[in-house]
Structure 1
Amino acid sequence: MRRSSTLLLSLAVVGGLTGALPATASAQGRQDIPQSHPLWANAQAKVADTAPAAKLSFRVYLNQRDNAGAEALAQAVSDPDSKTYRQFLSPDQVRDRFAASDATVNAVKAWLTGNGFSIGEVPSNRAYVEATGTAAQTEQAFAVDLGKYRVKGQTLRAADKNLSVPANLAGDVLGVVGVDQATNLFKPDHTDGIDSGKATKSVQPSDVAPGPGFRNAPPCSAYYGEKIDTTDPAYNGKQLPYAPCGYTPGQLRSAYGVDKVGADGKGTTIAIVDAFASPTIYADASEYARRNDPAHPLKQSQFSQHVFPVNPELEPPDQCDAAGWYGEETLDVEAAHGLAPGANILYVGGSDCQDNSLDIALNYVVAGHKADIVSNSYGDTGEDIPADEVKVFNQISLQAVLEGIGVYFSSGDNGDEVARLGTPSPDFSASAPWITAVGGTSIAIGKDGKRIFETGWETSKSLLTNGVYGPANYTSGSGGGTSRLFEQPFYQKGVVPDALATKNQTGKKKGRVVPDISAVGDPNTGFLVGQTQTFPEGAHYDQYRIGGTSLASPVFAGIMAVADSFDHFHHGFINPVIYKLTSRTAAISDVKHVDGQAVARVDYANSVDATDGLLRSARNLDYQGLTIHTAPGYDDVTGLGTPNGLLFLLLV
């Protein structure tokens, strides 16, 4: 979550990285790893040196042997006009054709052990070599000094300059991730829309109580328009409908037309990647299905987990909101199962949100093809990401495309990011070219389960005080915009308007625009979720309304799981298909701005009961005060639009 106007990388071809960036000599016999120094790690932000004896773990990621060939093949297997469309590779085929050689792995391991590091995991796709050692060993090995720097309210470790490696290894090293703690800035993309900012900090996940409780305050509606606020003053001349209490799985399946198609996701595995692991996840998700979708229980045989253990020798992840990640996991599991009740769910929990454990978790899924679809609901604020992380992520997501795994990322919950960064920007990882970025909408679902309307999610709030509505202030919304990191990918050419593709660019360049497609995200028209939380009377299961593009991502992942079972094949990377085919048909519903729509909302001031009073507000849907806007055709709030039931399943 760092601000920068500096371009970190110059990317070409399809919008991905073209192999290793040229290294520069930093000392005799050594070469820099370009742009491996975070911009926020400067002298003004430094608060301390890192203790020489401090333990840390990092991964040396290795270049593919033929990155250009891998990108060309990834385009071919995902492009419906290609002769090799959907001729996906197995993990073994990807490894044998593109992965670093055994000789390269052994050379890197020998260098690391020679510097005193102990060697950890080398995954089956030879993506990286993991090493653990002290800060002093790390400083010597990479010719840097490690310090502590203040950034965005956190104190994070980083080097004082670019890392460097021996010149004979420079061509093999893609990047080094974990020496700095830049990925501590990744946050889950969910929101309850109450703007409380509450968080529970933790030292070890095993010590974390369930997060602070939240309940919906009455009145709220079972469906859109069920209850009208006739007690408060009219807002802009209208008596508003009360916000829904939270849509159930059956309502969303009906609204998106996947409830009566004869397919439910059976035969497909959806992986959900988050940090940590909620100790009550299966009990919560099972209870949720029992209460809200009893015809579709979450069977024990459908749910599995792979959770990476916290290394007790490492610096504790005290910057991470473990309980907040529990809520993210719960939302993701319940939403994915709700839309695709026949699919298997694999939860993969990173050991923490630092040292790039989320990339390790994603690579675990991809290296072993553990799932057919991956939903990810987290990201950075903007694109000021160390080049190492960008290169590593692109290589992992590229392998997913080669294997036919669809990877979905939430587009973010802060709109155009101007309020936080000062300049418009999409969020990474959603802006990466080899994934599908899922934006958010505000949706009105009627008594019959059908969509009354659906518009872009950009919400403002007018607080009611002493009978008078205050000004409409922006609260949250679907992330979107034009990337400064990634050039326009092949699949967006001719579909995304030049007026959007040329934003944030220089000269005649065009950038990758986010998002690609959308689903429900607005917490004011959000999803009912059930989770064990900590209330004044103790910790127990309860239900509440939630939203965010981290709702949109698993909802869309669930729809794609239904598409897999309906079409009897796994779709893989769908961007080329949806831009070339479905975008030109009614298979995708074009989301447009809807004027004058708002809902009345009542919240507990203390989030759990009326003891401290109630907060009343009007929530305006699709606020127009940002640099991104919902518009006819492709737009930078909702992308191409939302899936349109059976037509989408037939044509995707």
Structure 2
Amino acid sequence: MQLSTVRRALAAGAFLGISLIVASATAQIKAGGGTVTSSTPGYSAARLSGQVLVPASSRPAPTDTGKKAHTNVRFITPSNTANPLFPPPYSGYPYETPGSLACWYALAAYTAGCNPLSTSLAVSTGGSKTIAIVDAFDNPEAAADLAYFSSQFGLPFSVSKFHVVYAGGYTPLLDSSGGWELESALDVEYAHAMAPNANIYLVESYDNNYTNLMAAVQEAINIVQCGNFTTTAGACGASPTGYGEVSMSWGGSEFSGQTTYDATFATANSKNVVFTASAGDEPGPIWPSTSPYVISVGGTTISRSLTNGNLQYEIGWDDGGSGRSTVEAEPSFQSSIPAVHAIANGVRATPDVAAIANPYTGVYVYDTFPQDYYYYGDWYIVGGTSVAAPVWAGVLNYANNANASWPVSTQVELTRLYNTSTNATTYGSAFKDIQYGFCNYYMSTRDTANWDLCTGLGSPNGRNGK
């Protein structure tokens, strides 16, 4: 298997050309030139009319269980009178940006309100090593879109730090039904937003069949362990020197054969690799988020003032996936914490952590390769726990590098995260405790202090405890 050299060359050209164009346009916008201007905090925030659309990729068929994965992504379909056809942030629409998230999640300098309408918010400048994003199908515009996105939001960017890999050496199919290309655009853009100095590999599976996706996961492991592109499993030996994260925003209902796939994530096969996986966008747990070798990432809502767009609260998202596994046993990092064990009660409970996911308070994503959508713009307001998983992958990359605390496995990282909850000081410095919201079937479970079934330990609070 090898990288497509022709495609990589084209992508590099697109990166450089688009970056120059957008940099110029962004400079005009920030200077007040042209017709697109950013809103100033204090002005009334407008409401983006429209509906939340769930693409085909996020609508599994009953026959998919145990065979095919689906995405966990939703987006807002704008009205004709207010749509994100112009570069954000634009007047009156305080949806989340790399700067607003870096502000709130303490990856950059804090500015009161963490207002996404402001063009003066600092962005994250952290990250190192490798983040591998595993998705199905091909997104031929992923490279150019990431360049445009980075330039628009002032993110550090280098053409040499983004790579597309065709898992197995086969050019992936296009997702004609729609959704996976938006997924991959979202994943690479927000992993990069949190850790812009990390090397990012988009590993594309031929399709969304679990067999092919897990083969892509294995290639992602190889890449992280070696710190560069490789085609051979175990190429870096029993003591690899590469470190990083593998983000998976896909999954599906649990099934009896999932524990066989768990072996790919197990410590013996994935030293120095931390996995994040979306917890799902509906009540109940999904796999691979329930794997004991994966960090399960649930969803939150970021509440902003209708008056000026300033942040008010972060609460649980009622559609976020959560619950107790029907297949996986309770792992030691949960059973060793009495308050967690009392709820898990012998089985794997999810999620472990959480981050922004509600599409009504979603993030800006740039995607020029939409398939079968009812809207033909390039900027999308996107939500789902598909946002939260790459955000956490980026946060962990930033934190592990800054703290020189690269773990030897996901379970080391999970143990570290859960252990913070045993001490109020360490917990408060590591997490934003989400204490309001409801989730699970019939909205039967509520967010409470410390760990809970809706948002796990909470959302990230900088690099402490990670």
Amino acid at match of 1:591: I
The separation in 1 between residues aligned to 2:149 and 2:206, in whole angstroms, is: 26
The separation in 2 between residues aligned to 1:450 and 1:537, in whole angstroms, is: 31
Find the residue that maps to 2:179 and give its secondary structure.
helix
Report the equivalent of 1:353. 208
CA RMSD of aligned residues (A): 3.5
Amino acid at match of 1:431: T
Find the residue that maps to 1:274 and give its secondary structure.
strand
**Contact 2:132 2:201 (C-alpha < 8 Å) held by counterparts:** yes
In the comparison of the two structures, how many residue pairs are matched? 366
> Deviation at 1:634?
1.4
Q: Return the match for 1:628 from 435, 438, 445.
A: 445
Report the equivalent of 1:126. none
Report the equivalent of 1:248. 97
The separation in 2 between residues aligned to 1:436 and 1:365, in whole angstroms, is: 16
Q: Return the match for 2:283 from 415, 418, 421.
A: 415
Report the equivalent of 2:183. 328
Residues 366-417 of structure 1 show CA distances to partners (whole Å, capped at 9, x for unaligned) of 2452561111000013x1x242x421x211111377512110000000123x
**Contact 2:165 2:201 (C-alpha < 8 Å) held by counterparts:** yes
> Unmatched 5+ residue regions in structure 1?
1-150, 157-180, 195-213, 228-243, 417-425, 459-476, 503-509, 595-620
The separation in 2 between residues aligned to 1:536 and 1:274, in whole angstroms, is: 18
> Deviation at 1:219?
5.7
Question: What is the TM-score when the length of structure 2 is the normalising length?
Answer: 0.70
> Deviation at 1:302?
1.3
> Deviation at 1:541?
5.8
Q: Return the match for 2:385 from 532, 539, 549.
A: 549
The separation in 1 between residues aligned to 2:157 and 2:442, in whole angstroms, is: 42
**Which has the larger Rg?**
1
Residues 117-136 of structure 1 show CA distances to partners (whole Å, capped at 9, x for unaligned) of xxxxxxxxxxxxxxxxxxxx
**Contact 1:277 1:349 (C-alpha < 8 Å) held by counterparts:** yes
The separation in 2 between residues aligned to 1:386 and 1:297, in whole angstroms, is: 44
Q: Return the match for 1:183 from 31, 56, 67.
A: 67
Structure 1 residues 561 and 580: alpha-carbon distance in aligned structure 2, compared to 1, 3 A threshold: same
> Deviation at 1:356?
1.2
> Deviation at 1:286?
1.2
**Contact 1:289 1:297 (C-alpha < 8 Å) held by counterparts:** yes
Find the residue that maps to 1:434 and give its secondary structure.
coil
The separation in 1 between residues aligned to 2:105 and 2:219, in whole angstroms, is: 31
Q: Return the match for 2:132 from 271, 293, 297.
A: 271
Report the equivalent of 1:379. 251
Structure 1 residues 402 and 317: alpha-carbon distance in aligned structure 2, compared to 1, 3 A threshold: closer
- Is 1:578–2:417 an aligned residue pair? yes
The separation in 2 between residues aligned to 1:517 and 1:375, in whole angstroms, is: 14
- Which structure has greater strand proportion? 1
The separation in 1 between residues aligned to 2:245 and 2:264, in whole angstroms, is: 14
Amino acid at match of 1:436: I
The separation in 2 between residues aligned to 1:286 and 1:346, in whole angstroms, is: 14
**Contact 1:439 1:552 (C-alpha < 8 Å) held by counterparts:** yes
1:27-42 matches, within 5 Å, as none
Report the equivalent of 1:638. 455
**Contact 2:162 2:201 (C-alpha < 8 Å) held by counterparts:** yes
Structure 1 residues 495 and 274: alpha-carbon distance in aligned structure 2, compared to 1, 3 A threshold: farther
> Unmatched 5+ residue regions in structure 2?
1-58, 111-122, 228-242
Find the residue that maps to 1:442 and give its secondary structure.
strand
1:367-516 matches, within 5 Å, as 367-368=222-223, 369=225, 370=227, 372-381=244-253, 383=254, 385-387=255-257, 389-391=258-260, 393-399=261-267, 403-416=271-284, 426-445=285-304, 451-458=311-318, 477-493=319-335, 494-502=337-345, 510-516=346-352
The separation in 1 between residues aligned to 2:125 and 2:163, in whole angstroms, is: 18
The separation in 2 between residues aligned to 1:394 and 1:519, in whole angstroms, is: 24
